[in-house]
C-alpha cells in the first residue's frame, strides 16, 4: 500500500466527521465518493446547494454575461447546449472551455454538467461538423444491439471532443401512437423489450465514450399525438398498461445501472398521479421510479419552460418548487433567468423556511455531486477544456462516418418490393421528387439522366402533375403529411411510382396503390446513399420495420 495516498484518505475521512475542520473540501479529494458528496453538501451554503440543482441554457453562440454570472456567483450545477448555440463546433468547444474554467474557480472546484440532445437521426442539437446519423428507428430496423452500442459510442466520442459530458439520450419512448409527430423516428420501435435492449446497448456505448446517458421521456411520450412543448398531453393508460409497456425499458435500463432519467411533462389521469404531470408527480418519481423500479440515479426535468409543466403549476417558480419537491434532482430551463428572478428567490426562501424542502434540495444536490464524482473524474472522463486541435482532426469521427454508412445500409427496409432492383435502363425517364438536397444528389448519382422536381406545400399540384406526366418512373421522397397529398395526386397517372420514405414510414399505410416502397429513417446523406443503392441493386435490403403498419396503436400482450 502506498503510504501517502493512504494517509490522505484517513485525513479526508477525519475532515468529513470533524465539524471544526479548517481545510477546504474539493471535488478532487480522494476517498469514498458518497462520503465526499455528502460532506461537500453539508459544507455548502443554501445558495450553493440550490444552484447545483439548476441546469440553464442561454441564447447565442457565445456565453452570455448572465450565464457567466450564474457560474461565478452561484456555483451553477449545469448548462444545456441547444441548437441555437451550436452551428460552429469549434466556437462551441471554446465556449464550453470558458464555462468550465469559470466553474472550476469556485469554492469546491466543481465542474459543470454540460448536456445536450444528440439522440442521432432527427434530433441533433449539436450540428456543425458532427455526424448526421441514421437514428434510432434505423437501429430498430437493423435490430442489432451492437449497432445501438456503436451509435451511442461514436455520438459520445464526438460530444466528448466538444467537452459535452451528458447526453439526453437514449430516447426509449415507444412508437405506440402512430400519429405521434413528436416521437416518430426518434423511437427504436414499438416493442418494449426490444427498445429496452437497444436502449441499454446505446447507454453502454455512451458510457464507454465517457458521456453520461439520460433515458427519456419518463414514463413515456409515445402514446400521444400531442407535443408537451405547447400543451400538457393526457395519456389514457392505467398503471398496469404502462408497467407492461412504456415502463419496460426503464425497468431494464435500471438493472443495467442507468445514471440518469429525464422526466416528461405528461399526464396519466387513470393513474394515482391524476392530472399532475409526471415531471411534477411524487407518485411517479418516488413511488414508481424510485421505489417500485428501484432507480437510484439522477432525475432531470425536461425543459421546465415548456407549457406542459408551467400551465399545470400556474407559474415557472411554482413549477420549479413542485419539480424539486416531487423528486427531480435537476430542474432544466432553456433560458437564463435573472439572478434574482422569482424562480430563484422563491426556491431559496422555501429552503430557509421549510426544513423538509431544504432537506429535499440537499438530497438532490448530493445526487448531482455523486454522479459528477462518479463519471467526471478519471481517465475516461470527458475533458473539462476541449482540445481544439484534436477537435479539428476528429470531427466528424472517422470511424463513426464509416459505421453510420454501414448502419444505414443494414436498416433499409423494403415495404413493397415488386420492381426492385430497378436499373436506370429499366426505369426509363425518371423524375425525382422530394424536399432534400441530398435526395436529389444521390438520386442523380443512381439515375444520371433523371429530372428533378422540388415540391412544396406552397406549390400547386397541377404544375407538379405536368412534370410527372412526362416521366416513366417517379421516385417520390415522402417524409410528412404534406408530401402525402402530392403523392396521392399521382395515383390516376398510371405511372411507375416508387416511394422513398424517410423519417417514419407510417404514411405508407395510406398508399397501397404504389408500385414499390422502401424506408430509410433519416435525411442523413448516408441514408440516401443506402436507399438508392438498394433501388439499383447494388446492395440487398435486410432491415425489418420495427412497428406494424395499419395499426393506430400498439398494445402490449397481456
Instruction: Report if residue 549 sits inside a domain.
Output: no
Residue 241 neighbours by CB under 8 Å, 6+ apart:
556
Instruction: Report if residue 402 sits inside a domain.
Output: no
Q: Check if 221 is active-site.
A: no
Q: Of the listed 229, 236, 341, 463, which one is catalytic? A: 229
Structural domains counted in the chain:
3
Instruction: Specify whether the CB–CB gap between 90 and 156 falls below 8 A.
Output: no
Instruction: Report if residue 400 sits inside a domain.
Output: no
Looking at the structure, do residues 64 and 19 belong to the same domain, yes or no? no
Residues 237 and 223: their CA atoms lie apart, in Å, by: 9
Which H or E element spans position 243?
A: helix 239-243
Could you read off the pLDDT of 461-520 as tens digits, one per residue? 888 999 899 999 999 999 998 899 999 999 999 899 999 999 999 999 889 999 999 999
Q: How far are the Cα atoms of 53, 214, 218 from residue 301, in angstroms, in the given order? A: 11, 11, 9
Instruction: Report if residue 555 sits inside a domain.
Output: no
User: Domain holding 206: CATH number?
Assistant: 3.20.20.300
Q: Which three cell numbers stand for residue 392?
A: 479539428
Looking at the structure, do residues 9 and 41 belong to the same domain, yes or no? no
Largest CA distance in the chain: 88
Looking at the structure, do residues 477 and 512 belong to the same domain, yes or no? yes
Looking at the structure, do residues 145 and 179 belong to the same domain, yes or no? yes
Q: Check if 229 is active-site.
A: yes
Q: How far are the Cα atoms of 172, 229, 290 from residue 260, in angstroms, in the given order? A: 13, 21, 12
Instruction: Report if residue 157 sits inside a domain.
Output: yes
| 331-333, strands of its sheet edge to edge | 298-301, 260-263, 212-218, 166-167, 113-116, 78-81, 54-56, 331-333
Instruction: Report if residue 122 sits inside a domain.
Output: yes
Place of cell 459528477: 372
* pLDDT the model gives residue 20: 41
Which range of residues forms the domain containing residue 510? 413-535
Instruction: Report if residue 11 sits inside a domain.
Output: yes
Residues 49 and 344: their CA atoms lie apart, in Å, by: 12
In a structure prediction context, what are the per-residue pLDDT tens digits for the chain, which is 558 residues long? 444 445 445 544 454 444 444 458 999 999 999 999 999 999 999 999 999 999 999 998 899 999 999 999 999 999 999 998 888 999 999 999 999 999 999 999 999 999 999 999 999 999 999 999 999 999 999 999 999 999 999 999 999 999 999 999 999 999 999 888 889 999 999 999 999 999 999 999 999 999 999 999 999 999 988 777 778 999 999 999 999 999 999 999 999 999 999 999 999 999 999 999 999 999 999 999 999 999 999 999 999 998 767 777 789 999 999 999 999 999 999 999 999 999 999 999 999 999 999 999 999 999 999 999 999 999 999 999 999 999 999 999 999 999 999 999 999 999 998 788 999 999 999 999 999 999 999 999 999 999 999 998 777 788 899 989 999 999 999 999 889 999 999 999 989 999 999 999 999 988 999 999 999 999 999 999 999 999 999 999 999 999 998 776 656 554
Instruction: Specify whether the CB–CB gap between 186 and 122 falls below 8 A.
Output: yes
Looking at the structure, do residues 131 and 150 belong to the same domain, yes or no? yes
- Nearest of 548, 552, 549, 550 to residue 191 by alpha carbon: 548
Residues 479 and 28: their CA atoms lie apart, in Å, by: 50
Which H or E element spans position 10?
A: helix 3-17
Looking at the structure, do residues 461 and 479 belong to the same domain, yes or no? yes
- Nearest of 140, 146, 71 to residue 102 by alpha carbon: 71
Residue 84 neighbours by CB under 8 Å, 6+ apart:
59, 60
User: Domain holding 472: CATH number?
Assistant: 3.40.50.1700
Looking at the structure, do residues 66 and 163 belong to the same domain, yes or no? yes
Instruction: Report if residue 500 sits inside a domain.
Output: yes
Chain centroid to CA 336: 21
Looking at the structure, do residues 71 and 94 belong to the same domain, yes or no? yes
Looking at the structure, do residues 88 and 225 belong to the same domain, yes or no? yes
Q: Of the listed 117, 147, 191, 302, which one is catalytic? A: 302
Q: Is the pTM of this model over 0.85?
A: yes
Looking at the structure, do residues 328 and 355 belong to the same domain, yes or no? yes
Phi then psi dihedrals of residue 228, to 5 deg: -70, -5
Residue 555: other Cβ atoms inside 10 A: 11
Looking at the structure, do residues 325 and 421 belong to the same domain, yes or no? no
Looking at the structure, do residues 356 and 473 belong to the same domain, yes or no? no
Instruction: Specify whether the CB–CB gap between 231 and 307 falls below 8 A.
Output: yes
Residues 276 and 283: their CA atoms lie apart, in Å, by: 10
Amino acid at each position: 500500500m502506498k503510504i501517502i495516498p493512504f494517509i490522505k484518505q484517513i485525513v479526508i475521512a477525519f475532515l468529513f466527521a470533524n465539524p471544526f475542520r479548517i481545510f477546504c473540501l474539493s471535488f478532487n479529494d480522494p476517498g469514498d465518493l458518497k462520503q465526499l458528496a455528502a460532506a461537500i453538501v453539508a459544507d455548502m451554503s443554501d445558495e450553493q446547494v440550490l444552484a447545483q440543482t439548476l441546469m440553464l441554457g442561454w441564447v447565442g453562440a457565445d456565453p452570455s454575461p448572465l450565464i457567466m454570472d450564474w457560474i461565478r456567483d452561484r456555483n451553477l450545477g449545469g448548462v444545456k447546449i441547444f441548437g441555437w448555440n451550436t452551428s460552429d463546433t469549434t466556437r462551441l468547444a471554446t465556449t464550453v472551455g470558458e464555462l468550465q474554467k469559470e466553474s472550476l474557480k469556485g469554492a469546491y472546484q466543481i465542474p459543470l454538467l454540460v448536456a445536450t440532445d444528440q439522440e442521432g437521426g432527427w434530433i441533433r442539437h449539436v450540428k456543425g461538423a458532427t455526424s448526421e446519423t441514421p437514428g434510432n428507428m434505423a437501429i430498430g430496423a437493423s435490430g442489432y444491439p451492437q449497432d445501438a452500442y456503436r451509435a451511442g459510442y461514436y455520438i459520445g466520442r464526438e460530444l466528448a471532443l466538444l467537452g459535452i459530458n451528458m447526453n439526453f439520450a437514449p430516447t426509449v419512448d415507444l412508437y405506440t401512437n402512430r400519429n405521434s409527430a413528436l416521437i416518430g423516428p426518434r423511437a427504436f420501435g414499438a416493442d418494449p423489450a426490444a427498445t429496452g435492449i437497444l436502449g441499454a446497448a446505446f447507454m453502454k456505448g455512451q458510457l464507454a465514450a465517457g458521456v453520461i446517458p439520460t433515458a427519456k421521456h419518463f414514463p413515456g411520450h409515445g402514446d400521444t399525438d400531442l407535443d408537451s412543448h405547447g400543451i400538457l398531453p393526457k395519456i389514457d393508460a392505467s398503471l398496469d398498461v404502462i408497467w407492461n409497456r412504456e415502463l419496460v425499458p426503464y425497468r431494464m435500463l435500471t438493472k443495467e445501472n442507468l445514471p440518469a432519467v429525464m422526466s416528461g411533462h405528461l399526464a396519466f389521469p387513470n393513474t394515482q398521479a391524476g392530472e399532475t404531470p409526471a415531471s411534477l408527480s411524487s407518485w411517479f418519481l418516488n413511488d414508481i421510479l424510485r421505489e417500485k423500479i428501484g432507480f437510484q440515479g439522477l432525475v432531470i426535468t425536461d425543459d421546465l419552460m415548456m407549457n406542459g409543466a408551467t400551465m399545470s403549476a400556474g407559474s415557472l417558480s411554482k413549477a420549479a418548487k413542485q419539480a424539486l419537491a416531487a423528486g427531480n434532482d435537476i430542474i432544466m430551463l432553456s433560458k437564463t433567468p435573472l439572478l434574482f428572478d422569482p424562480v430563484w428567490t422563491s426556491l431559496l426562501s422555501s429552503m430557509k423556511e421549510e426544513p423538509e424542502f431544504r432537506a429535499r434540495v440537499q438530497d438532490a444536490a448530493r445526487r448531482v455531486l455523486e454522479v459528477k464524482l462518479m463519471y467526471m473524474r478519471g481517465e475516461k472522463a470527458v475533458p473539462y477544456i476541449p482540445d481544439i486541435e484534436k477537435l479539428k482532426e476528429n470531427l466528424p469521427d472517422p470511424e463513426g462516418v464509416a459505421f453510420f454508412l454501414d448502419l444505414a445500409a443494414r436498416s433499409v427496409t423494403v415495404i413493397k418490393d415488386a420492381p426492385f432492383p430497378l436499373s436506370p435502363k429499366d426505369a426509363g425517364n425518371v423524375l425525382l421528387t422530394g424536399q432534400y438536397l441530398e435526395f436529389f444528389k444521390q438520386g442523380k448519382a443512381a439515375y444520371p439522366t433523371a429530372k428533378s422536381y422540388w415540391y412544396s406545400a406552397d406549390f400547386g399540384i397541377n404544375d407538379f402533375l405536368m412534370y410527372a406526366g412526362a416521366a416513366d418512373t417517379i421516385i417520390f421522397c415522402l417524409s410528412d403529411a404534406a408530401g402525402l397529398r402530392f403523392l396521392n395526386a399521382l395515383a390516376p397517372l398510371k405511372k411507375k411510382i416508387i416511394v422513398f420514405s424517410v423519417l417514419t414510414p407510417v404514411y405508407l399505410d395510406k398508399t397501397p396503390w404504389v408500385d414499390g416502397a422502401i424506408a430509410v429513417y433519416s435525411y442523413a446523406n448516408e441514408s440516401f446513399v443506402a436507399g438508392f443503392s438498394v433501388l439499383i441493386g447494388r446492395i440487398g435490403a435486410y432491415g425489418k420495420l420495427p412497428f406494424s403498419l395499419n395499426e393506430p396503436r400498439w398494445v402490449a400482450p397481456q
